[in-house]
Structure 1
Amino acid sequence: MRVITLNVNGIRSAAKKGLFEWLARQSADVVCLQEVKAQQADLTDQMLAPKGFHGFFNCAEKKGYAGVALYSRREPDRLRVGFGSKEHDDEGRYLQADFGKLSVISLYLPSGSAGPHRQESKFRFMEYFFPVLKILRHDGREYILCGDWNIAHKEIDLKNWKSNQKNSGFLPEERAWLTQVFDELGWVDVFRTLNDKPDQYTWWSNRGQAYAKNVGWRIDYQIATPGIAKKVEKEHIYKIKRFSDHAPLIIDYDYKL
């Protein structure tokens, strides 16, 4: 089973850069997209459901903003749109597809970088979502939460960690929250089970030559329950072609969907 997650920073923009031609060659079983920045009525048939896939969306009420999508080869048994926080559900940040005993979730945490009001919204998301994570962790199902969590967990997860300790995405309380998700609740950072090297990033600022110099952040994750996390076989951050300011995170599991 191949699972791909990518923040597209505008699905229409990513499409123009060749995203769907690339996806057609990836043999993915599930693809999770974040920040689609569109309503379903704005999208082409290819964007709504690429050939061979079923397509599902949770778009933000505000046009051109946030929103998540999920494509799957197999039709899900059930879909869950939103996680119960009206503020964040209105922004289209959670979409869950159930396949047998496995659920895959496309997730997009708020960014706090636009100002204090957005950081407060991010903290509210974290506060509301933690008990949800606790319930999911213990409900007997396997989960893979794919997406842009907008938090770099450890110093190894961003190039300039010293100068970013007061910036959104690397605040002590954000990092401590993610540590709780892993250590207290028992979720697994799947990428790090296979790759413990530095300089592994999924997002680069458009300022300067961040991408060319690999001055990046690892803020896109596949975070899973231990059972499915143990079935991980291979990880890859795809950087040959760029579809947005994020890179696709591809993980293969020894699991049949």
Structure 2
Amino acid sequence: MSRPLRIATVNVNGVRAAYRKGMGEWLAPRGVDILALQEVRAETDDLTALLGPEWDVLHDPATAKGRAGVALASRRKAEIHRVTFGPDDFDSAGRWLEADYDVDGTIVTVVSTYVNSGEADTPKQVEKYKFLDAMAERLPKLAEHNPLSLVVGDLNVGHRTLDIKNWKGNVKRAGFLPAERAYFDRFLGAEGEEGYNAGAGFGWVDVGRRFAGEVPGPYTWWSQRGQAFDTDTGWRIDYHLATPALADTAVSYTVDRAAAYDERWSDHAPVVVDYSL
């Protein structure tokens, strides 16, 4: 293709509500080729009707109606898609969706995922660790399947202190627990480790951190309560995790943060990356 492949991910916090608040006005001019969505919380027919006929839509709804749900929408039809994830007794419905796309003769594998939010010292946290265990098992196989692979979505973990504005106040809360962050040490390498985000761990690359450098944020989620958005008291929990070969083709990284609180159509901001294949 003559221009880079543009891949965007966003937790829409309910796609029907997001469209009522302006998601379509964001998407129409943005030039996105592959769109990953989380927390769709709608039927497939609702999603396809909102996006329109120009999009090929894959949707894995959650088992419980009105919960979770992940989707991939593309300007090109997926070659193969998979939703099987984790052990047989683990319900991952609505949380992991893989697809292979033929981009002018090059196969790119994209995953839209929504990691459980969890809650410290509760069964919800046990489920979150089950999901992260399954993810740790799948990532090496995914890289083996295709050296041009990408996992995007709301991963509900801030890996480093740079990823959360008020990290000191959240060290005992789900999303920043040491045990959760240790999974990301395995995926990317640990902070300060030789080869961090450049071959350490499983070798995957956090594209956002590579582009931003050693600076706070840029955040992708802000609480709807109080002045969190206005004061940029956010969390960076929406990621593009790429295999090294794909990460090396990334030429731009943008968090599409709304200009004002009342212009938001989700509590998350889209994360948009261009890959020059």
TM-score, L = length of structure 1: 0.93
In structure 2, C-alpha distance between the alignment counterparts of 1:203 and 1:145, rounded to whole Å: 18
Residue 235 (structure 2) pairs with residue 217 (structure 1):
yes
- Alpha-carbon distance between aligned partners in 1 of 2:169 and 2:242, rounded to the nearest angstrom: 30
Question: RMSD of the TM alignment (CA)?
Answer: 1.6
- 1:58 matched residue in structure 2: 60
5+ residue gaps, structure 2, are: 190-200
CA contact (8 A) 1:82 1:93 kept: no
Q: Give the match for residue 125 of structure 1.
A: 131
d(CA) in 2 for partners of 1:70, 1:52: 13
The alignment-based identity, stated in percent, is 41
| 2:221 is the alignment partner of 1:203 | yes
Please give the alpha-carbon distance, in whole angstroms, between the structure 2 residues aligned to 1:179 and 1:160. Answer: 21
Residue by residue over 1:166-189, the C-alpha shift from the partner in whole angstroms, topping out at 9 and shown as x without a partner, is 000000011111111112100000
1:1-257 correspondence to structure 2 within 5 Å: 1-41=5-45, 43=46, 45-47=48-50, 49-86=51-88, 87-90=90-93, 92-100=94-102, 101-113=107-119, 116-183=122-189, 184-196=201-213, 197-240=215-258, 241-255=263-277
After superposition, the Cα gap between the structure-2 partners of 1:207 and 1:107, relative to the gap in structure 1 and judged at 3 Å, is: same
Partner residue, 2:198: none
What secondary structure sits across from 2:138 in the alignment? helix
Instruction: Give the stretch that moved more between structures: 99-108 or 2-11.
Output: 99-108
Kept in 2, the 8 Å contact 1:2–1:252? The answer is yes
Q: CA deviation at 1:55?
A: 1.1
Q: Secondary structure at the match of 1:20?
A: helix
Instruction: Give the Å deviation of 1:147.
Output: 0.1
Structure 2 vs 1, CA of residues 114 and 40 (structure 1 numbering), >3 Å: closer, same or farther? farther
Distance of 2:32 and 2:85 partners within structure 1 = 26
**Which amino acid letter does the alignment assign opposite residue 185 of structure 2?**
T
Q: Distance in 2 between matches of 1:140 and 1:4?
A: 20
2:67 maps to a residue whose letter is Y
Q: Which amino acid aligns with 1:98?
A: D
**Residues 195 and 89 of structure 1, relative CA distance in 2, 3 Å threshold:** same
Secondary structure at 2:145 match in 1 = coil
The question of whether the paired residues in 2 share the 8 Å contact of 1:39 and 1:59 is answered with yes
Taking the aligned partners of 1:99 and 1:12, their CA distance within structure 2 comes to 26
Residue ranges of structure 1 left out of the alignment (5+ in a row): none
- Equivalent pair of 1:34/1:108 in contact (CA under 8 Å): yes
Deviation of 1:45 after TM superposition, in Å, equals 4.2
1:40 to partner: Cα distance: 2.0
